[in-house]
Amino acid sequence: MAEVEGLADSIRPVLSAPDAITALDEFAAHLGRLRQRVRPIAAAIQRQRRSDPDFAAHREVIAHDQRRICRHLVEALHRESLLAQSWTVADATDMLWALMSHDLMDNLMINCGWSISKYVDHLSDLLRAVFVIEAAWDHR
């Protein structure tokens, strides 16, 4: 699925961003690009993981990769002295990973009728407001 849906191409701008805030923006765009396409498969994995050990193991691999990317983003903010003071690297990583939830995207896009563009713009704003020191908010 990762190959077919172009995961590597989608995540590349996140990993090669010139700074941490741009990386956060690219991460929001990545989620908007990819999540809509993989939603049905992700939902099936989520449903089956509680009763099927193979699905559970696969979900753990996915979660590990997602958390690795989240930690990369948070560590970049920390290195650049941009991580809001209320966060530790570990807690910010946990929260960023939780904000990747398919339920969040589904609630906004399906239940509230948001477009991908609106989702990406507002998610980017949310990530900045939550994780970036206030003095750096006007980066965009």
Sequential DSSP letters for 103-123: HHHHIIIIIS---HHHHHHHH
Chain-centre distance of CA 52, in angstroms? 26
| C-beta separation of 84 from 97 below 8 A | no
Which residues, 6+ apart, have CB-to-CB distance to 85 below 8 Å? 133
Tens digit of each residue's pLDDT (9 = 90 or more) over 115-124: 999 999 999 9
**Of 63 and 86, the one with more pLDDT:** 86
**H-state helical runs in 1-140:** 7-15, 20-48, 53-79, 89-98, 102-106, 116-131
* Residue ranges of domains in the chain: 7-127
CA distance 127 to 124: 5
Measured distance CA(87)–CA(25) in Å, rounded: 19
State whether residue 81 is helix, strand or coil: coil
Residues for the chain: how many in total?
Answer: 140
Dump pLDDT digits (tens) for 15-51.
Answer: 999 999 999 999 999 998 877 766 666 665 666 667 7
Residue 8 vs residue 100, higher pLDDT: 100
Helix (H, G, I), strand (E, B) or coil at 132: strand
